[in-house]
Amino acid sequence: MATSPAYFPKPVVDDERRGEPRFGAEGDVTLVVSDGLEDLECAAKLLDFSLHGLRIRLGRELDQGQEVRVIFSWGEATTHVQWTKPLSQGFETGLQLF
């Protein structure tokens, strides 16, 4: 009797520098960024994730090392900006989870 295999997301393998696999994801998240005086909220798109990080696309540039809160529909996480890359429309950013 054959059984169906369990479904596990397939890792995205496109960068040999990564120490762990990343998994495709999509959805809207909210970033909370402090400018020193107040917290600013901005919308972003989740592109993928790994055990210790997230990759997002957003309309503003973030500074490397900057602390950012990411709010998901199910909760939130505090992260640090690892890198930011300009795109033709907006920026792509890698965030490290604590």
Q: What are phi and psi of 90, to 5 degrees?
A: 100, -155
Would you state the pLDDT for residue 48? 93
Per-residue 3-state assignment (H helix, E strand, C coil) for the chain: CCCCCCCCCCEECCCCCCCCCEEEEEEEEEEEEECCCCEEEEEEEEEEEECCEEEEEECCCCCCCCEEEEECCCCEEEEEEEEEEECCCCEEEEEEEC
CA distance between the termini of the chain: 45
Per-residue pLDDT of the chain (98 residues; tens, 9 = 90+): 444 444 445 554 455 555 788 888 889 999 999 878 899 999 999 999 998 999 999 999 999 999 999 999 889 999 999 999 999 999 999 999 97
